[in-house]
Chain A
Amino acid sequence: MLIEIQEGKALDSVVRHITQEKINLYAEASGDFNPIHIDESFAAKTPLGGTIAHGMLNLAYVSEMMASAFGRSWLSEGKLRAKFKEPARLGDTLTINGKIDCVEQKDDVSYANCSFECRNQKGEMIVTGETIVKFSSDRK
């Protein structure tokens, strides 16, 4: 269900648990077989100490939250800027929260400026960033 577009409005959170099976599925789907994601013995010898989720997998969860809130407006005219702060590791539970910071109107078009955070179960920031969604003024 699409949300009411209003400044300060929180977006529905997305919660996802990271498993090696999900990382492997993402590697298969995306074609990104970097061993840091899929080779546990290789990853164990790196400073990261183990496999990590693809950054784009974490970002896909952000996109899921945005699509739930804004529907096709996000899919067709969304903008995103994200910083990957820490890797998401096996066993992590990621919670993605977002909110509409402000709504701007330029000509007959409205823009929802949102911020988001993706944190793990320890509260550590995994991804942070901003999004902008263009939508018609009658969608409120």
Chain B
Amino acid sequence: MSGKTISYEELIPGYEFTPVTYELSTSFVSKYLQAVDSEGDGFVPPLAITACSIAAMTGSFSMPSDTIAIHASQELEFFKLVPIGVTIECHTRVAQKIARGKMSMLILELEVFDKDKEKVQSGRATIALPT
């Protein structure tokens, strides 16, 4: 994983995180399948790809101190089967940032592409931060 880390306060709607690439290797997929108690079916589980996107995003910004991030909701759409061994590129942008009383909500849009620049997956994650 690469890319700079910025603070939560600096995130504004429209901000795009530096795209992050992952190789969905056999060892990565085996580890993921073991973690989720699944036997798999010869392709990369779509939620393993989402996990990469989420990790890329959460590793790219620092949280306010003493704050925990809670995954509040998730939307996903899958566009193609992804063979093991493929390299993907995860793109994330801030769609909205909302402050409501003692709760902040960060809404992020995710898009994942394969090496041919074909879209593999897209989604939207809402992260709640009680302050």
Tell me if chain B binds chain A: yes
- Point out residues on A near B: beta carbons under 8 Å: 16, 22, 25-26, 28-32, 34, 36, 46-48, 54-57, 59-61, 63-64, 67, 71-72, 74-84, 87
Is the Cβ of B72 less than 8 Å from the Cβ of A30?
no
Give chain A residues whose Cβ lies under 8 Å from the Cβ of B35. 22, 25-26, 28-30, 57
Interface residue? B86 (CB, 8 A): no
Which residues of chain B are near A36, meaning CB under 8 Å?
68-69
Known: A59-B47, A64-B36, A72-B81. A31 touches B55 (CB 8 A): yes
Chain A, residue nearest B73 (CB): A83
- Is residue B70 within 8 Å, beta carbon to beta carbon, of the partner chain? yes
Interfacial chain A residues near B69, Cβ < 8 Å? 34, 36
Contact with B74, one of A26, A32, A64, A82 (Cβ below 8 angstroms): A82
Contact indicator B41/A75 (Cβ below 8 Å): yes
Q: Which partner residue on chain A sits nearest B75 by CB separation?
A: A81
- Is B68 a contact of A46 with CB atoms below 8 Å? yes
The answer to whether A77 and B71 touch (CB under 8 A), given A29-B31, A32-B54, is no
Interface SS of chain A: helix
Report B-chain residues with C-beta under 8 Å of the C-beta of A47.
130
* Beta-carbon contact of A60 and B45 below 8 Å: yes
Task: Give the distance in Å from the alpha carbon of A75 to the alpha carbon of B40 in the complex.
Answer: 11
A65 to chain B, nearest CB (A): 11
Asked whether A77 and B51 contact (CB < 8 A) given A26-B36, A82-B73, the answer is no
Q: Which of A16, A30, A64, A80 gathers most chain B CB within 10 Å?
A: A30
Distance from B46 Cβ to chain A, minimum over Cβ atoms (Å): 6
Beta-carbon contact of B70 and A75 below 8 Å: no
Q: Does B12 sit at the interface, judged by CB under 8 A?
A: no
Of all chain A residues, the one with the shortest Cβ separation from B41 is A67
Most B CB contacts (10 A, CB to CB) among A29, A64, A71, A77 go to: A29
* Chain A residues near B71 (CB-CB < 8 A): 54-56, 84
Chain B residue numbers with a CB within 8 Å of A55 are 71, 74
Q: Which residues of A contact B36 (CB under 8 A)?
A: 26, 57, 60-61, 64
A-B contact pairs, 7 of them (CB 8 A): A29-B28, A29-B34, A36-B68, A75-B43, A79-B76, A80-B74, A84-B72
